[in-house]
Amino acid sequence: MTSHPAPLTIVALSGGVDSAVAAWRLLQDGHRVQALHMTNWDADDAYCTAAEDLQAARRVADQLGLVLHHVNFSDEYRARVFADFLREYAAGRTPNPDILCNREIKFGECLRHAQRLGARYLATGHYARVEPADGGARLLRARDENKDQTYFLHAVSPGALASAVFPLGALTKDEVRHIARDIGLDNWDRRDSTGICFIGERPFAEFLAAHLDTPPGPIVDEHGNELGRHHGLACYTLGQRGGLGIGGVAGQPETPWYVAARDAARNALVVVQGRDHPALLSRVLETAVPAWLARPPLPWRGFARIRHRQPLEACTVSGDDCSLSVRFDNPQCAVAPGQSVVFYDGEQCLGGAVIERYEPLARVGGASATNGAAIMGN
């Protein structure tokens, strides 16, 4: 009888410790494994780590005895992720390119490339779990809640998710590093990548200024008093505390200042004191077209988060296939249009949607300062 080889699993090998341990675990479980390193950003400057990442991936592949493929998706990334990033910031919103990268590049272009190489599955170092369900797959939260990355994976298509493997879903980050050290991987203590890959360690304002018109303007309090100068409205996020350059203000308590609104009409950044200021809080938001992995019947009671690592918050969701209205039981701080709200039923991630509008408990600044907040009751 002729034996057939096991299905091929290709690991997206970044050069970091997570994808390296993911590859090792697959080998330990008897999978037939090859590796694929993606270059998604190859700018010729001191901040780009593409060459360093490729060399790190080659060292890991050599240590594990893996065939390593290399593919450059820089053009696709610029067209499908970076262009959207710039459009959103130019429109006064705060995009999340990691979500788009997972959908369009990692589980889009990369998955298709892996399939052309003969792979049935694409494995990554994401902290998440996936289980077969009704011809598709269920996306489940990782064991390590602090590292859980389902927020960034919620927009991956159900078909692509069915071909995904997440070998780290049941591990904590500490366990991953211990494994890497114990098996002798050179990168066991390599620093985690943070932030957005195409920005790297460079100052964010400097990067945006090179691609967008970011004229400076006043930083004002809720009464219109000027407290300082900003570097361009696009350089600041709602709820931001650091980097404002506001010292002690005469006659004001020593309470931290937070970005509450971006008033485009006056090119003014509006700040308030205290994280519990009503201008920073909202119970209600509206979204763009939702991306469902498992669509619940609407209206629906469940849990959601509006940012990575945020504790799950109870909410009621209503709407249709075009948009959703989400009402939280407790006010949420710094709801940012352009970011995503992601829904959960227990440990299962159901999907999510980009936030379009929100209604603050109190308005500050001009009419455009809240980025088109919806007119909804609180």
Q: What is the pLDDT of residues 192-247, one digit of tens each?
A: 766 666 666 677 888 888 899 999 999 999 999 999 999 999 999 999 998 898 87
Which pLDDT belongs to residue 166? 98
Q: Select 279-360's CATH number: 2.40.110.10, 3.30.565.10, 3.40.50.720, 2.40.30.10.
A: 2.40.30.10
Single pTM value for the model: 0.92
CB neighbourhood size of 265 (10 A):
10
Residue at token pair 């919620």: 154
Going by C-alpha positions, the residue among 203, 243, 199, 197 that lies closest to residue 219 is: 243
**Section 357-378 average pLDDT:** 62
Residue 123 contacts by C-beta under 8 Å, 6 or more apart in sequence? Answer: 9, 10, 11, 12, 22, 23, 26, 33, 164, 165, 166, 167
Q: What is the pLDDT of residues 2-52, one digit of tens each?
A: 556 789 999 999 999 999 999 999 999 999 999 999 999 887 676 778 888
- Please, how many CA atoms are within 13 Å of residue 197, restricted to the half-sphere of its CB? 21
Which pLDDT belongs to residue 240? 94
Angstrom CA distances, 313 to 45, 208, 341, 355, stand at: 41, 32, 11, 16
Q: Report CA 293 to chain centroid distance, whole Å.
A: 17
Question: By mean pLDDT, which of 33-37, 60-64, 365-369 is the weakest?
Answer: 365-369
The span from the first CA to the last CA of the chain, in angstroms, equals 69
Q: Are 238 and 216 a contacting pair, CB within 8 Å?
A: no
DSSP 179-246: HHHHTT-TTTTPPPP-S-TTTTTS-HHHHHHHHS----EEEE-TT--EEEEES-GGG--TT--TT---
Q: Are 361 and 281 a contacting pair, CB within 8 Å?
A: yes
Active site residues: 101, 197
Find the DSSP H helices in the chain.
17-28, 50-64, 74-77, 83-90, 97-101, 111-116, 150-153, 158-161, 173-182, 204-211
**Calpha distance 50→132 (Å, rounded):** 34
Using only the alpha carbons of the chain, give its radius of gyration: 22
Length of the chain: 378
**Calpha distance 358→310 (Å, rounded):** 18
CB neighbourhood size of 60 (10 A):
29
Which pLDDT belongs to residue 250? 64
For residue 4 the two structure tokens come to 């057939």
**Calpha distance 233→7 (Å, rounded):** 50
CB neighbourhood size of 303 (10 A):
17
Which pLDDT belongs to residue 373? 39
> Could you tell me the residue ranges of all domains in the chain?
8-182, 213-273, 279-360
Q: What is the pLDDT of residues 259-281, one digit of tens each?
A: 999 999 999 999 999 999 999 99
Q: What is the pLDDT of residues 318-358, one digit of tens each?
A: 999 999 999 999 999 999 999 999 999 999 999 999 999 99
Q: What is the pLDDT of residues 98-152, one digit of tens each?
A: 999 999 999 999 999 999 999 999 999 999 999 998 878 999 999 999 999 999 9
Query: Comparing 8-182 with 279-360, is the CATH topology the same?
Result: no
- Residue 345 is classified by DSSP as E
Q: Are 372 and 337 a contacting pair, CB within 8 Å?
A: yes
User: What is the CATH number that goes with domain 213-273?
Assistant: 2.30.30.280
Predicted confidence (pLDDT) at residue 305 exceeds the cutoff of 80: yes
Q: Are 150 and 346 a contacting pair, CB within 8 Å?
A: no
User: What is the CATH number that goes with domain 8-182?
Assistant: 3.40.50.620
